[in-house]
């Protein structure tokens, strides 16, 4: 059962399970978005706090993961505005992941993703990491579905070029 299908069947009492099932995926999305594991976990926590606050509304949504992913992207987008003054000193980490089975490959991936233009990166991550549909991604980004396709396509082309890697087109 994929994440989207799983979350569509989320019951009222399953908020903890939903968080547990999606946390790593959420952090991964934000690592790719922010390029920083520490920031990603911080943003994930902020996103989940919103999830808990809006729990009643989220529970009845068709796709709560889409909602959470959108919140997370918005959180990361305006992160710099919300960083507390005192926290700035400890958030000055360059791109880092600190762990993972393929540290070198992951770092390279993060650097390449980080170099994507803002909207291409957002479209790519929402489509191919958060697994939102084109329609959901368009709604999250506030743009037309055609724009999502265009942005995603250009991002994928650039990923292939910069990573110099053969990638399956199945998810295009």
Partner 1 sequence: MPTIDDLLNTANPAEAIPPSTEQLRGIIGRRRARRRQAIVTGTAVVVALLVVGVAGLVGSGNGFVDEQQIDAVGEKGLDEGLRPDADGASDDDPSDTDADEAVAVETAESTDGSESGGQESETSPSATRWFLVPPGPTELRFISDQHLDLDTVQPGGRLGLITLTTDVSDPVTAGLAVVYHLEDTGLSVFRGRNVTVDGRVVRVESDPADDSVSAFVESGPGIFAVIGSSLAEEQAIALALAAELVDGQTDLSDRVPPGLRVVQPPDPQATDHSSNIVWGPENSRIELWMRPAPIEEEVLNRRYAGAPESVAVRATDGVYVPFSPGQDPAMLLWEEDGYTFTLTTTDDRIPVESEVLVETANALVRLDQPALVERFDSPFMRRQAATAQSWLEATPLPAGFDPTPLIHGIPQSELQLSSHIDWFLECTWFAEWEASILTDDGPRRAAAETVLADRPAWPVTVVHLGIVDGINRSNDRLERTPTHAKYIAEQQRLMTTIVTLDQLAELMTQYGCAFEVPE
Site for partner 1 in 128-157 (CB under 8 A): 128-129, 131, 139-142, 156
Residues 39, 30 contacting (CB under 8 angstroms): yes
Q: Is 8 in the site for partner 1 (CB under 8 A)?
A: no
Angle in degrees, CA 155, 148, 118, rounded to 5? 50
| CB count in 10 Å sphere of residue 129 | 17
Task: Return the residues of window 18-37 that contact partner 1 according to CB under 8 A.
Answer: 19-20, 23-25, 27-29, 31-32, 34-37
Between 8 and 100, name the residue whose CB sits nearer to partner 1: 100
CB of 37 to partner 1, least distance (A): 7
Q: Is 92 in the site for partner 1 (CB under 8 A)?
A: yes
Of 8, 41, 134, 150, the one binding partner 1 (CB under 8 A) is: 41
From the list 15, 17, 143, the residue with the least C-alpha distance to 70 is 143
The least CB distance from residue 62 to partner 1, in Å, is: 15
For partner 1, the closer of residues 8 and 61 by Cβ is 61
Residue 36 is given by DSSP the state: B
- Cβ contact 34:40 at 8 Å: yes
């Amino acid at each position: 059962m994929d994440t989207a299908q799983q979350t569509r069947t989320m019951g009222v009492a399953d908020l903890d399970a939903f968080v547990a099932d999606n946390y790593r995926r959420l952090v991964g999305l934000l690592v790719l978005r922010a390029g920083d594991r520490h920031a990603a976990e911080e943003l994930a926590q902020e996103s989940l706090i919103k999830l808990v606050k809006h729990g009643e509304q989220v529970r009845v949504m068709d796709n709560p993961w889409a909602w959470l992913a959108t919140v997370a992207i918005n959180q990361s987008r305006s992160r710099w505005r919300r960083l507390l003054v005192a926290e700035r000193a400890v958030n000055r980490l360059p791109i880092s992941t600190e762990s993972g089975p393929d540290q070198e490959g992951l770092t390279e991936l993060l650097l390449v993703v980080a170099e994507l233009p803002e909207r291409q990166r957002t479209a790519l991550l929402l489509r191919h990491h958060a697994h939102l549909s084109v329609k959901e991604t368009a709604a999250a980004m506030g743009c037309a579905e055609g724009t999502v396709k265009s942005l995603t396509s250009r991002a994928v082309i650039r990923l292939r070029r910069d990573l110099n890697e053969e990638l399956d087109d199945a998810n295009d």
